[in-house]
Chains A and B, each alone.
Chain A
Amino acid sequence: MGVKRTDFLKTALGASAGLSVAATATPWSSAAADEAIGNYPAGTSGPEVFVGLLCPTTGSYSADGEDERKGYILAMEDLNAGTGVMGKIPSLAGKKGLLGKKVTYKIADTETKPDTAVQRATEFITQNKAIMIQGGVSSAEDIAMQKLAQQQKVLYMVGASGSNDTTGKDCQRYGFRSQLDAYMVAKALDPYLVKAYGPKKKMIFLTPDYSYGHSLTNSMRADLEKLGWTTVADVVAPFPTSDYSSYLTNIANSDADVFINIEFGNDGISSTKQAVQFGITKKMKLVIPNISTFLPDGLGPDIMQGVYGTQDWYYTFADRYPLSKLFLESFQKRFPGVIPRWTAHIAYAQTAIWADAVTRAKTFNPPVVIKTLEEGKPIELMLGKVYYRAGDHQQVRPCPVVRGKPGSAMKNKDDFFDVVALVPGEQCMQPLEETNCHLGSYT
């Protein structure tokens, strides 16, 4: 399948592919501002511009995708009305739409599958002349869409993606990722694990068999081994899996002290639930390094209490950051009774960052917008000041470490976590030379 798709794209993009090879050596120049590239200027000639949104509203990560979808809807409505957090961004304040144009959008279901994601994204780019695409929840679909974006020269603001590869070996000039990568998760979380559970522990991993899983397991493993822990085994399960009993039998029969569950989404819920039934959480400490948005709801506080992990964003940040408070309020006004989770945060923040860059660049021209983002000027958003690192397009942003609350301490049905720490982004970032990232060409 993958080969076929690549072939198709190569054929479809024969001309531009040739161009990009020729232009690799030439960095962006001022002359490029006027050149046609991707859907520019074709997609921006009318009174509206189109943005393609891709959310997995079915499949293993559907709950996360639904939250992400709501985040995009609020972001688009705020952008066009000049309200909410969008209205507080200096470059956008007092304006409606973007560079005087209304931003229209469509939302497609990626089914948590890379093939479907690329197909839908291609439709947005070719049929709707999308000037930007964004979304995705699994790193597999995000990396696939990011490659497409690079080939088509259409900007892609990455949705939820935790693999190092997204801004590492699979990084692209046309993609920007805001979520913590696996390295940042490990760097932020691990000192707290050692503090809580002691310096010489034996750990065992349950890993979903794709980019994100291996990336997070390897990062956690390398970092914790440096801190003195040892690895008993890395139990790899296919993605997705529904019955984990055979994998958990291996884990239950090991002599590990700490069970580090890398599974995410519905797979994270069923694997953890089954691990509890196997008595694993009685024998071992449970750690879920990357806690998916609705995992605590699916497991309940009895299982989640005391569990350490990280989350991209949590709604109680409203107490720390004024724009988190505003985001929480406007989200609840738009979707009564629903508290946004971190995938909605990514959706909104990524839209805002792009809108700010377009406004400051005064053009939709992708290379110019990319260059503007690469300048690394911090923007004040729901996590305080954040910016993109030019070398790999990873966002430098606070890394939140959380711990599950006991049910008795929950103030409402969404109040699952204590925020243990917000580690400054600069302390978590992987050194650029270790990322193995080679951003492609601008043109």
Chain B
Amino acid sequence: MHLIEAQALNGLALGAILALVALGLTIVFGLLGFVNFAHGALLMVGAYAGWVVYTQTNNFFLAMLAALVITFIVGIVIERVLIRLYYARPKQDQILVTYGLAIILVEVVRAVFTGQTRLLSTPAWASGIVNIAGIYYPQYRVAVIAISAITLTVIYLILYRTRIGLIVRAGIDDVVIVNILGINVKRTFMLVFALGAAIAGLAGIVDGPLLAVNPDMGTDILVQCFVVIVIGGVGSFFGAILGGIVAGEIVSLTTAFSPDYASVMLYVAMAIVLIVRPQGLLGVEGRA
């Protein structure tokens, strides 16, 4: 019986998914200081965009590309029309406006595609089962670890090893000065928001073969996202990764002993983090 080892491995894979799902939310907050409650809905939009392309072409990479591009465009549109007006507003206004936006996105998708759950099958190249040190594990979930790792690396390089991240952080400190320096801060903000949306969309299509693809799929996921980033540190890039893995391991290892308590333990862990280290494991004090 390899149950503990199997659950530890599963915790890692689950953590990779949770990190990918939470990443878009945490960078938009970390860089723009903006709370995006429409993150789950954007994830759902990505899943639908991917589903449409996947059923047409049967090519999962095209589906991922479609999810990225479409949610990136949706991100640009809503940032221009709505979000940019709310950067300077209080957090509760941001929560309310994005919560409303999420309802609109969900209902538009429901009107177009109906509420019925869509079948998004596992891509053929990842539908088998692999044997990792005696533990049989779904190939697709291993592929998801790889997809998550690649995405996290690329996003890290874009945001923290190019000028974009620098401009955004400077822009938050003093918009006027950065503008005087001849840099278009507004455009950079827009790109960061759209990037967050695109990562949500990518997470949606990547999660598609695992979950039930339907208009409400983002609602539950949003709750998980917040648990992950609260544990890891709100707004911290590496916090999302650590928080994802910690959350994944807690759920998986608790399940090995007592499945009934798995989700309870997750919230217990979150509560302990909030008491002992309110800024989260890798969070910076005062940022939130």
Residues of A within 8 A of B (CB): 57-60, 62-63, 65-66, 209, 235-238, 240-243, 245-247, 249-250, 252-253, 266-267, 269-270, 273-274, 277-279, 294, 297-300
Contacts and interface: CB of A to CB of B under 8 A. Distances in A.
Interface in B264-282: none
Contacts of A273: 209-212
Which 8 A-B pairs rank lowest in CB-CB distance, beginning with the nearest?
Answer: A246-B255, A266-B212, A277-B138, A298-B117, A246-B252, A270-B212, A62-B115, A279-B129
Interface in B1-47: 1-3, 6-7, 10-11, 13-14, 17
A265 to B, nearest CB: 8
Nearest to A252: B136
B48 interface: no
B3 A298 contact: no
B238 to A, nearest CB: 22
A216 B211 CA distance: 23
16 contacts: A57-B115, A62-B214, A63-B117, A235-B259, A241-B220, A243-B17, A245-B141, A246-B254, A250-B3, A253-B1, A273-B211, A274-B138, A277-B122, A278-B136, A279-B129, A279-B138
Interface in B194-237: 209-212, 214-217, 220-221, 224
A269 B118 CA distance: 10
Contacts of B215: 58, 62
A236 B259 contact: yes
Interface in B27-75: none
Given A242-B211, A252-B6, A269 B136 contact: no
A269 B116 CA distance: 11
Contacts of B184: none
Interface residues of B, number: 47
Nearest to B250: A246
A210 B14 CA distance: 24
B184 to A, nearest CB: 39
A176 B252 CA distance: 41
A58 B214 CA distance: 10
A377 B116 CA distance: 37
A245 B129 contact: no
Contacts of A237: 259, 262
B179 interface: no
B6 to A, nearest CB: 5
A63 B214 contact: yes
B255 A249 contact: yes
Contact of A270 (B129, B211, B252): B211
Nearest to B253: A246
A240 B220 contact: yes
A249 B114 CA distance: 32
A298 B14 contact: no
Contacts of A250: 3, 7, 255-256, 259
Contact of A266 (B17, B214, B259): B214
B117 A266 contact: yes
B209 A58 contact: no
B210 A60 contact: no
B245 to A, nearest CB: 14
B216 A62 contact: yes
A427 B36 CA distance: 55
Contacts of B141: 245, 277
B174 interface: no
- Most B CB contacts (10 A, CB to CB) among A242, A249, A267 go to A249
Nearest to B223: A242
A273 B217 CA distance: 15
Contacts of B138: 274, 277-279
A395 B119 CA distance: 34
In this complex, the member of B14, B137, B259 whose beta carbon has the largest number of chain A beta carbons within 10 angstroms is B259
B14 A246 contact: yes
Nearest to A236: B260
Most central of A236, A243, A299 by chain B CB within 10 Å: A243
A62 B106 CA distance: 13
Contacts of B137: 278
B3 A249 contact: yes
B228 to A, nearest CB: 12
Contacts of A274: 138, 210
Contact of A249 (B10, B118, B119, B210): B10
Interface string B129-144: 1000000111011000
A267 B127 CA distance: 21
